[in-house]
Amino acid sequence: MKNMSFDRLVDVVATLRSDNGCPWDLAQTHESLKTDLIEEAYELIEAIDTKVPKKICDELGDLLMQVMLHSQIATDRNEFSVDDVIENLTDKLIRRHPHVFGSVVANDENEVLKNWEEIKRNEDGNRDRKSSLDGIPHSLPSLQRAEKIQKKASRVGFDWNQTEDVLPKLQEEIAEIEEALRKKDITEIEMEIGDLLFSVVNLCRFLNVQPEEALRKSTRKFVDRFQRVEATLERNDKTFGDYDLSKLDQIWEQVKLQEKT
């Protein structure tokens, strides 16, 4: 039944990309779909946050559609098919899990990751990588890329020993921002703020907190509180311009207190 469902999906996507299919689908390329691919991934993340299985299922389908479209574009160009994608993935999963499908022993997650990196380094297309940090996409969100870079550096032993070692670095970076502000050097200010963010990512890593996820949650919390401040102002027939920052801050604190009741 599953094979029939998948074959039906392949046929539908091929029809959409055919001469008598959908003009939009037919016009798409790998390049034109890049933004859509990212958007679908983030919509899936939002669905996961809702914890509603139906929404997660729906967004997984949309993300799968991106894979199917890219595969069909390649099929139309006689490059590869979705079957090649699946076969390549299956072979890769088996190759990179020798502790499951082979005789290699991995006692914990760290050993699994160490073996994974070593296997990746010896695969076709990766043998020319000279640095331990090669292979991390520049297109990743900056916080996520910083986290991946730090993790890779840590695996080769370039890391702090404990969380307490990271905290003084945060204080040092804040002091350097203050010094840059006194100099009024915008280039230096930008660099020092970047160093602070990088150090915050380091702290997150030591505490097993995903920085991208932490920032998403804080941003969502800010939006929720801001909208409740707006609702408070609207009930009083007021706008932000009717109050100074001190009064707005009082309303903000009231909104925060309501969260605890």
- Torsion angle, alpha carbons of 35, 2, 93, 39, to 10: 10
- Residue at which a domain ends, from 81, 107, 122: 81
Q: Report pLDDT for 1.
A: 46
Round to whole Å and give the CA distance between 184 and 124: 49
User: What helix, strand, coil percent values describe the chain, rounded to 5?
Assistant: 75, 0, 25
In-domain check, residue 35:
yes
Q: Report pLDDT for 155.
A: 82
Residue 147 belongs to what domain range? 136-209
**Do 201 and 220 sit in the same domain of this protein?**
no
pLDDT values of the chain reduced to their tens digit, one per residue, 261 residues: 457 899 999 999 999 999 999 999 999 999 999 999 999 999 999 999 999 999 999 999 999 999 999 999 999 999 999 999 999 999 999 999 999 999 998 888 888 888 888 888 788 766 667 787 888 888 888 999 999 999 889 888 888 888 899 999 999 999 999 999 999 999 999 999 999 999 999 999 999 999 999 999 999 999 999 999 999 999 999 999 999 999 999 999 999 998 876
Q: Report pLDDT for 175.
A: 96
Q: Report pLDDT for 190.
A: 96
Round to whole Å and give the CA distance between 144 and 150: 10
Q: Report pLDDT for 2.
A: 54
**Do 224 and 155 sit in the same domain of this protein?**
no
- Residue at which a domain ends, from 37, 55, 81: 81
**Do 180 and 222 sit in the same domain of this protein?**
no
Q: What's the DSSP call for residue 135?
A: T
Tally of domains within the chain: 3
Q: Report pLDDT for 261.
A: 67
> Which CATH number fits the domain that encloses residue 186?
1.10.287.1080
DSSP notation for 227-244: HHHHHHHHHTT--GGGS-
